[in-house]
Structure 1
Amino acid sequence: MSTMIRNEPGQNRYTIALDDQVAGFADYRLEGSRIVFTRTEVDPRRRKAGLAGALVEYALDDVRTSSALTVVPQCTFVAHFIDAHPDYQELVDRG
């Protein structure tokens, strides 16, 4: 089974696909120098596979390496992920 994660800036979302079928997404909106993650969703049949964590990790790594944006974790899953992985705290603007 092949997994592909990518940013789809035209749709303001990161997606994760398994064998070319989208299994989940993380929506965001850009607000100046901030990226606000608003919602993360994974197909209920695939929730135990760790896809949401892999998706959010990819998105945060992408923000870190390809921009100077500050992350606003409005989505509770993204907020919990960052809380559980302190190496992402430097990206966060919780204000």
Structure 2
Amino acid sequence: MSTQVRDDPDATRYVIETDGAIVGAAYYNRFEDHIVFTHTEVDEGHQGEGLASQLVQSALDDVRTAGLRVVALCPYVRSWLQRHPDYQDLQR
């Protein structure tokens, strides 16, 4: 199974693809100095595979590279950040 995360700025979301099919997304609103994650979802048939965690980590790595801060309105992103102290510095 080939998995890839990419930013889809036209749809204001990061997507995770498995074998070329989009199976999840983390939606956001981007501002000049920060990004607000509003909702994360993974298709029902792919839940429990760790894809949401992979999606959020890759999105946050991209956010870090861009020099942005994070506002986590999405409960999943908020709980992911709480479980990963090495990403706490991204929170606004």
1:31-70 alignment to 2 at 5 Å? 31-65=31-65, 67-70=66-69
Superposition TM-score, scaled by structure 1 size: 0.93
Give the unaligned 5+ runs of structure 2: none
SS in 2 for 1:49: coil
Give the unaligned 5+ runs of structure 1: none
TM-fit CA distance, 1:32: 2.9
The residue identity in structure 2 corresponding to 1:24 is G
Structure 2: distance between partners of 1:88 and 1:52: 16
Structure 1: distance between partners of 2:40 and 2:73: 10
Moved over 2 A (4+): none
Report how many residues are paired.
Answer: 92
Task: Work out the percentage of aligned pairs sharing the same amino acid.
Answer: 47
TM-fit CA distance, 1:91: 0.4
Q: Is 1:27 equivalent to 2:9 in the alignment?
A: no
Q: Which residue does the alignment assign to 1:85?
A: 84
